[in-house]
Amino acid sequence: MKYIDLTHPFTREMPVFPGDAYPEWKQAATIEKNGYNVVQLRTGMHVGTHMDAPNHMVEGGRMLSDFPPEHLIGPAFVVNAFEKPRVTLNDLDQMALSQVSIVLVYTGWDRYFGQEIYYRDYPELDLEFASALVEAGIKIVGLDFPSPDREPYAVHKKLLGNEVLIVENLTGLEALLPYQDIEVMALPARYEADGAPVRVVARVGQ
């Protein structure tokens, strides 16, 4: 049994979605002056590896703080869509779908994280792919790219409108490919917010 971290570090040089504000870090206390360090962070909640709650796209939708641990931890499988610009129903093993509550989509796009292309030419999920996840009662879908779609966000709305949480900007999903038995924990702090940075960890093997 071992753990695999699927999370980009949230550093001082985080890239953001075009148009979003960059995070600002402020040293609010120092060991020299106060006896301890405290950093203050001002950031949009959709930076780096983060989770979208329904409220991100659904008027009056639920916040991250509304979701219990049962929704955030569970058996997972990986859709291997390496280098595909669109992820379609053909990429989905529907048998495997019935065994899990979390689906991770591997495209390898995380290699461009921090480059301009990352937020420009990223792959998308087909609406039919998203609908199949909803039908199967999937609770979380995780992506190694920045968004499941573009305006007008039909895939986002399909998923979030059906309480399927979306994790964006994962990394290192290829490390999971050799494993059948995968448990994923995606635990955001309990913010009353439409999204937040999240640590995503997989436990694999026996």
Residue with smaller CB distance to a copy of itself, 92 or 185: 185
Identify the residue whose tokens are 């490390």: 175
- Return the sign of the alpha-carbon dihedral for residues 58, 121, 132, 175: negative
User: How far from 150 is each of 43, 80, 122, CA to CA, in Å?
Assistant: 22, 21, 10
DSSP H or E stretch at residue 188: strand 182-188
CB of 19 to a copy of itself, least distance (A): 9
CB of 121 to a copy of itself, least distance (A): 21
Which residues inside 45-104 make contact with a copy of itself, applying CB under 8 A?
45-46, 48-50, 55-57, 59, 65, 68-70, 72-73
Q: Tell me, residue by residue from 139 to 178, as one string, x for binding to a copy of itself by CB under 8 A and - for no binding.
A: ------------xxx--x----------------------
> Which class for 129: exposed (0-12), middle (13-18), buried (19 or more C-beta within 10 A)?
buried
E strand or H helix that includes residue 31: helix 31-34
Give the binding-site size for a copy of itself (rule: CB under 8 A). Answer: 60
Question: In angstroms, what is the minimal distance from the CB of 76 to a copy of itself?
Answer: 15
Of 113, 143, 199, 205, the one binding a copy of itself (CB under 8 A) is 199
Phi, psi of 133 (to 5 degrees): -65, -45
CB of 25 or CB of 179, closer to a copy of itself: 25
Strand partners, 125: 87
Name the token pair of 45: 């909640």
Interacting residue ranges for a copy of itself, rule: CB under 8 A: 3-5, 7-12, 20-21, 24-25, 28, 31, 35-46, 48-50, 55-57, 59, 65, 68-70, 72-73, 151-153, 156, 185, 187-199, 201, 203
